[in-house]
Structure 1
Amino acid sequence: MSNPIWAPLLAELDRWGTEGRRLRLWLRDDDAIAPSPQLDRLAALAEHFDAPVLLAVIPFLAQPALCERLRSAPLLQPCQHGAWHRNHAPQGEKKSEFGSHRPREIVIAEIAAARRRLLDLFGPALLPVFVPPWNRIERDIASELPELGFSGLSCFRHFSFAAPRGFCVLNTQIDIIDWHGGRIGRPAPAIAEEIVTELTRRREAEIGESPLGLLLHHRDHDAGAWAVLDALLGSMVHHPAVELVGLRQLFSGLNTA
């Protein structure tokens, strides 16, 4: 018997199916640096659900052993997560590594150097997608990303900028961790309600095939976060209105927030 917590979500997905709509579901996991039992658990979850995961790797903290580990976890696909994951915002402002707090040329050079390090580690396995720490980046810096070799950017929810043709902005919408309430997994009812609200909004507004992104942080997951993630994917991935799409396909030719 399915968990009643997810019943409203499944009912909304049934409505999507009745209307011939499909939900492209995808996963992003941030702050990867090294092999760990938590990373093993993420790899096992990805394999169990056949779910590709965009693995945002911190370039200057990444250990070569991570590259070795990912060779046996092909569903965990690396991309660039900032440079050092350092906050350069002054006290009292929201954290940001790529805000307006440093000279632009220094920031651009740092992103380029960080990309070179990841290319040295991962080679062609590295997806040309940039994920800024704390999901924040100044728009004038974002506009430089195509020239640095990136074809995609991923933040959270409503970030966008005047991206050139062929450059993809694809954000996550659902964070499974309660960062302000103790850095713990969010309760399943809250996540279910949030997803239902988002899907209902899209359906009623007749919004097109905009993907829904789940935001993960394997290094910070407690038992509750893992349990919710497993239950959520178990409820959604087998629904006929849901598609777990490949990341290269997802970031190809798509330009949506």
Structure 2
Amino acid sequence: MLARRLHIALAAATLLAVVSSCSGPSEPLTPPHLEFSAPELDLGTLHEGQIDIRNTGGQAVGPVEFVVTLIRDANGATVPGSQVVIDPAELPTLNPGDTRTLGVWLSVSGSLLPGDYDAAITARGGSETSAQTAVRFLVLSDAEAGVARIDILSTQTGARMGDVVALPVEVRGADGSVLQGVPVSWSLDPPDAGYVGSSGQFVAYDSGMATLVARAGLASDTIRLEVRERGLEGSFSLVGRAEESERYTSDLWLHGTVAYVGTWGGRPVGAVFVFGGGCVVKE
């Protein structure tokens, strides 16, 4: 009986040794890693919002501290007296795989001028890990706050390079009435497709599709234009020659029935131009 028990114990010990040798050494846990749920949080005009912080690593981290930079305006100047507030301002610990939702809002002392503002939130888990997200918000003027919609009135679908395209807009309030004097901003995609002025005058620099967006307050409207090459043709008759006497002129002068072109490229004094019927070209 004793020999049988010793045999069973020896077999069990051998099996345990075999299992242990097959399982190998355990892999080390990955370090903690903090991440915000979005690279940017827009507080809008209500100046409040939420964002998640999570630990995607394999080890707990704590305490996690949230540090907020000073608020800056669109020109990069800091704004005293106002700050972005986070609740909670600190987490005792954040376990692997855990997520916490943070409340974010704006605390204003006095008033802010209309415009765009931003700040940054940094989550610090000691010296082990950190994460950052941007915070943006908008302050509307009284006129902008009353905007319900904006409409680009043009039905144009195409344009030529270099032509001036007028894009009139109409801004209306919640009661449908037309609002006057509301600031309208424009954006262009792609940004280098041309130039658009504050009054909605668009000049295309390149052919292809151009998307223009007009914004007033929180309202916006979009128009897409297919820009084509100018495709100019024609001829001229030589009527004389002259020397440029001024270093700086213009790239295009329209004077009566004559178009003076190419003069900007002739910046060195003494460049010779050929005057033709209807245009002037550099020789």
Q: Which has the larger radius of gyration?
A: 2
TM score, norm. by length of structure 2: 0.18
Instruction: Considering fraction of residues, name the structure with more strand.
Output: 2
Instruction: Considering fraction of residues, name the structure with more helix.
Output: 1
| Structure with larger RCO (C-alpha < 8 A, sep 6+) | 1
